[in-house]
Chains A and B, each alone.
Chain A
C-alpha cells in the first residue's frame, strides 16, 4: 500500500524483468512505447532538419543574411517615442522598443486591474442600473476584437482638435489634442536613490513593528492594528528621508567597490558558481525524487517514465555545465553586466547633496518649426500610446471584471451570512471574509489576463506605437534580417511571459499556504 502508484499502470521493474523473459520483444509494452517515441523524435528532428536545410539553401540562393550583426551596426531609424528616439544601433532600437512594451504593459496591467475590479463589483451590485451598466461594459467590449477597438480609438483621437500654444481643457495642466494627451508629471529626481535607502531601512523597521504589534495582539487580544503601524513607520521614514537622505551618499563608494571586485574576478568564478548551482539543484531534486518513490521498506520502484525524468534532469544539468565551460562568453557577459549594473548604481549615488528625491513639472507646449507641439516637461501620451493603452485597458478590464465576479460568486453565501450574523458590517464582510477567499479563485485567471495583455500590446504595430514588434518590423525592413528579429521578439515575449507567470505562481502558492 505504501509504495507510490505510478500513472502508467506498468509493473514494477523487477517483476517486469521476470515477465519480459517470456514476452517477445515486439509485444513488450515498454519496448513498443520507446520504439514509438524514438521513432517520432527522429521524424520530428528529421522534418526540422529538412526544413532548416531548405531554408538555408533558399536564404543563400536569395542572398539573405541571417546574422545578428545588425545589433552592433549603425541604423538609420527614427522612433516615435521612447528612451532613445534616434538609436545608434539596431540593438539600441530594439531595446527602446522593449522598454516601450514594458512601460505600456505595466501601465496597462495596473489600470486594467483597477477598472476590472470596479466592473466586477458593479456587475454584482444591488443597484439595478449599476448592474446593467456593468453588463453593458463587459458584453460590448469583450465581443469586439481588440484590434478593431484600438483602430477605432486611434481614429477618434486623430480627429481631436489641433494643439495650440495655449489650449487644452485646463491650460497648463491638461492638454488633449491630436498630438496626444499631456498632463503634469511627477518624476524621480537625482536624490531618489539615497531617499530609497532610507525607505528600505524604514521597511525593515516597519516589518519588526508589524511583528511586534501582531504578537501583542495574539497575546492580549487588544486591537493593535499592526498593518497601520507598519505603514505608519514606513511613511515616517519616508518623510524624514526627504531631509536626511544626503547622509547616504557614501553608499556609492560601496557599490563602486563591488563593481571593481566583479571586474577583477577571473572568468572561472562564475563558471564554478553556476556549475555548482546547476549540479547541486539537480542532485537535490533527483535525491528527493528517488526518496519519494521509495517504499517504506526501502524498495525503489521506478517506471520507464520516472527513469526518463531522472536521466533528463541529469542530462540537462550536464548540458548547463558543458555550456558554461565551453562558452566563456557567457560568463564574461555575466561578469560584465554585473559590473555595469553596479557602476550604474554607483553613478546614481554620485549626486549633489542637496538634490531632491522627487520633482514635478507642468506640461508645456513649444513651437520649434511651423506647428506647436508638446515639450518634454509633461507626462505625454502620444496618440499611439493612448490608443493602445485605452484599448488594452478597456478590453482586459472586461475579462478581469468577469473573473472578479466569478471569484466573488464562488464564495459560499453561508460565509457572508455567518459574518453578518456575528455582527460585522458590510464593508468588513467584503474586506475580511469575501475578498480573501475570492482572491484565491480570481488570481489564476487574472494572471492569464496579464499575460494576454502583455502579448496584446504587440498589436500596437497597427497604430504605429514604437513597441518591440513595430521597431523590429522597421529594423528588418531596413536590414533584411527577418529571422534574427523574429527570434529576438519571441525570446523577449517568452521571458516576459515567464516572468509574469513566475510572479503569479508565487502569489498563488502563498495564497494556498494560507489555506489549511
Chain B
C-alpha cells in the first residue's frame, strides 16, 4: 500500500483503525501499567513525585507575580523583526501572507493531513482537561483563580467527553449490529480542520480575551505602555487576515488541484517556494531603489546578450547529433570563463560566463528531442534571469531606514539564515557526496578532506572565522555583509553534514541500478542525475529533515557572534531596557518555547512522512 501511494506521491492514506487491543477497565489498566510489580509501584510513585515537583516548580515560576512577562509582551515586535520601521511594517505582513498562501496551496495540492477518529479527539480533549486540572491543583493560585482554571478544565474535559460519547453512540446506532468491529463506520475528522479550528480559536481569543494592551512608545524617552484590555489592533487585525488568507488558500488549492495537471502544479509550487525567500527578502523587505538608467543601460544588455547567445549555444549543444565538438566548445567556454578573471571587467559578466560554462558542460546529459531541448534552454533563461536580477538587487542600496548593518533581526533573521543555509548547502552537499563516492581519486580526496575537516571542528569557530576574517579575503572594492559572510560559514558547515546524509542514501542504491543504467547506454551524468540521485535522495529524506531541524537550532549561535537574532535580543537587549532589568529568565524561556514549537513540529512531521512513505521499514 505504502509503496504504491508513495510512488504516485499521494500522501493521503485513508484512516484504518488499528487492530483491536483488548480494552481494559481503568482499574485493570492501572494495575497492568503502573503497579504490576513492587518495583514498578516504587517507580510509579517516584516518577509521580518527580513530575509533581517539576510541574509545581515550573508553575510557581511561571505564575509568580514578580515575573516580568510584560517584557516579552511589550517586546514581541523586537523579538520578531528587531528594529524594522513601523511605518513599513506592511512589508513584513505581505511576506507572511505570501508564505501562508504558498503553505495553504501546498497543503491542498500535496493532500497533506490525515483523518483522525472523532472519538480520539474527544479522548485527547478529556486528557487535556485532566492535565490542566491537575496542574491547577499544583499551581500556587489564589482560590478564585483555582476555581476559574478548574472550570476551564472541566469545560474542556466535558467537551471531550461529549464528543467521545456522542459520536460513539451515533456509530453504534448507525452500524446496525457488528459493523463496529469492521471499522467502516468510524466518524473521522481531518487534521487540517482541527488545526484550523484551533488557530481560529486562538485568533478569536485575541479579540475577546483581555491579554493586555502593551506597546513600546519610541518617543524622545522610550517608555512602556501597558493597559488592560485586548491586544493592540496592529496585532489582532493582521493575524485575523492571515488566518483567513491561509484558509482561503487551502480551499483554493483544493478546488484547483483536480482541474490542473498534478505534476505541473507541484513543480510550479516548488519553484515558487524556491524563489520566495530571495524575492521576499530582497524585493519586499529590503525594497531596493533601482537606478533605472543603470539597469537599462548595463544590466539588461548583459542579460540579453547572455540570454540570446547562451540560449542558442545550449540549444545547439543539447542536440543529440552534436557530439564531441560540443564538449570541446563547452570546455572552451569554461576556459574563457576563468580567463575573464585575468582582466578587469564587471563581476556579473564573469559569473554569467561560468554559469553558462557549467550549463554547457551538463548539456549532453540533458540532450534529447525538441521538448527536452526547449526545457533546458528555458531552465537556463530562468536561472540567468533570477541570478541577474538578484545580483542587481543585492547591489542596489536599500530604502528601508534602519539602524545597524542588517535591516531585520529577531526571529526573522533566524528564519532567513536557516532558509538560506539550507538552500545553499543542499546543492553543495549533494556535490560533495557525489565527489566523495566518486571513482575519481582527486575529487574523492578533496571532498573527504573537506568533510572530515569541517565535521571535526565546532561550528562556532567557523562562524567566528567567517564573521571576522571574510572581509580580509575579499579583493579590494568587494564587500560582503556580516550576515552574508555568516550564512556562507553556516552553509559550508551544513553541507559537510548534509553530504554524509546523502552519501548514506547513495550507498543504498543497489549495484543493479547502476548496471541497468549503463546497460541502456546512459552516460555517467545521466545515470547520476536520472537514476541514482532520485533514489538516493528519497532514502535520505528522514535524515535530511533531521538535518534541517539541526540547522534551525544552530541558528541560535548567531547570538554569540553578536548578530541580533532572537536569542541575542532576549538575552542581551531586553534585560538592559530600564523597565525590564534582569528579565533574562522569562525572555529565554519564551525563546525556548518558540524554538521548541518549531523543532518539535518538524520532527513530528518527519516521523509522519517516514511512516506514510514506508521509508523507515527497509
Contact = CB atoms under 8 A, between A and B. Distances in A.
Interface string A327-342: 0000000000000000
Given A129-B51, A130-B43, A490 B461 contact: yes
A486 B556 contact: no
B51 A130 contact: no
Nearest to B589: A152
A289 interface: no
A482 B472 CA distance: 11
Interface of B: 33-34, 36, 40, 43-44, 47-48, 50-51, 324, 327-328, 338, 439-443, 445-446, 453, 455-461, 464-465, 468-469, 471-476, 518, 549, 553-557, 559-560, 567, 571, 584-585, 588-589, 591-592, 595-596, 599-600, 603
Given A27-B324, A37-B440, A149 B34 contact: no
B596 A37 contact: no
A451 B454 CA distance: 13
23 contacts: A44-B446, A54-B472, A58-B474, A62-B472, A128-B34, A129-B44, A140-B596, A143-B596, A143-B599, A144-B592, A144-B595, A148-B567, A303-B439, A305-B439, A308-B442, A456-B458, A459-B557, A462-B559, A486-B469, A490-B453, A490-B457, A493-B456, A494-B456
A451 B459 CA distance: 13
B135 to A, nearest CB: 14
A461 B460 contact: yes
Interface residues of A, number: 68
Contact of B588 (A26, A133, A151): A151
A469 B461 contact: yes
B328 A26 contact: yes
A236 interface: no
B457 A127 contact: no
Closest 8 CB pairs of A and B: A143-B599, A8-B439, A128-B33, A455-B458, A497-B456, A308-B441, A458-B458, A145-B553
A139 B553 CA distance: 14
Contacts of B471: 58
A139 B600 contact: yes
B548 to A, nearest CB: 13
Contacts of B588: 148, 151-152, 155
B599 A144 contact: yes
Most buried by B among A144, A451, A486: A144
A225 to B, nearest CB: 25
Contacts of B461: 458, 469, 486, 489-490, 493
A493 B452 CA distance: 12
A490 B455 CA distance: 11
Most buried by A among B40, B51, B458, B464: B458
B294 to A, nearest CB: 27
Interface in A136-174: 139-140, 142-149, 151-152, 155-156, 159
A473 interface: yes
A129 B47 contact: yes
A63 interface: no
Given A152-B585, A455-B457, A473-B464, A127 B474 contact: no
Contact of A494 (B453, B475, B600): B453
Given A27-B324, A493-B461, A144 B571 contact: no
Contacts of A155: 571, 584-585, 588
Contacts of A57: 476
Given A44-B446, A127-B40, A459-B460, A148 B556 contact: yes
B472 A59 contact: yes
Given A128-B33, A139-B600, A489-B461, A152 B47 contact: no
A455 B497 CA distance: 14
A483 interface: yes
A8 B234 CA distance: 63
Nearest to A7: B439
B442 A129 contact: no
A432 interface: no
Contacts of B464: 469, 473, 486
Interface of B is mostly: helix
Nearest to A10: B439
A143 B469 contact: no
B43 A43 contact: no
Nearest to A133: B47
B462 to A, nearest CB: 9
Interface in A437-489: 451, 455-456, 458-459, 461-462, 469, 473, 482-483, 486, 489
Contacts of B459: 455
B33 A126 contact: yes
A130 B44 contact: yes
A212 interface: no
A247 interface: no
A126 B44 CA distance: 11
A461 B560 contact: yes
A55 B43 contact: no
A41 B585 contact: no
Contact of A151 (B439, B457, B465, B567): B567
Nearest to B465: A486
B39 to A, nearest CB: 9
A92 B555 CA distance: 32
Nearest to A136: B51
Most buried by A among B442, B473, B571: B442
A37 B474 CA distance: 26
Contacts of A149: 592
B54 to A, nearest CB: 9
A502 B442 CA distance: 25
A27 B327 CA distance: 10
Given A9-B518, A494-B456, 18 more contacts: A55-B469, A126-B40, A127-B47, A129-B47, A143-B596, A145-B567, A146-B553, A146-B556, A147-B556, A149-B592, A152-B592, A155-B585, A308-B441, A455-B457, A469-B464, A489-B457, A493-B458, A493-B461
A7 B43 CA distance: 55
Contacts of A33: 440
A151 B556 CA distance: 11
Contacts of A7: 439
A141 to B, nearest CB: 10
A482 B47 contact: no
Nearest to B324: A26
A489 B559 CA distance: 20
A36 interface: yes
Most buried by A among B324, B459, B461, B556: B461
Nearest to B46: A130
A117 to B, nearest CB: 16
Nearest to B591: A148
B592 A148 contact: yes
Contacts of A8: 439
A143 B556 CA distance: 12
B395 to A, nearest CB: 20
A347 interface: no
Most buried by B among A147, A159, A456: A147
A129 B440 contact: no
Contacts of A304: 441
Contacts of A473: 464
Given A127-B34, A146-B553, A151-B571, A458 B460 contact: yes
Nearest to A448: B455
A243 interface: no
B51 A133 contact: yes
Contacts of B571: 151, 155
B510 to A, nearest CB: 14
A480 to B, nearest CB: 11
A64 B439 CA distance: 43
A40 interface: yes
Most buried by B among A51, A62, A149, A490: A490
A295 interface: no
B375 to A, nearest CB: 26
Contacts of A40: 442-443, 446
A125 interface: yes
A239 interface: no
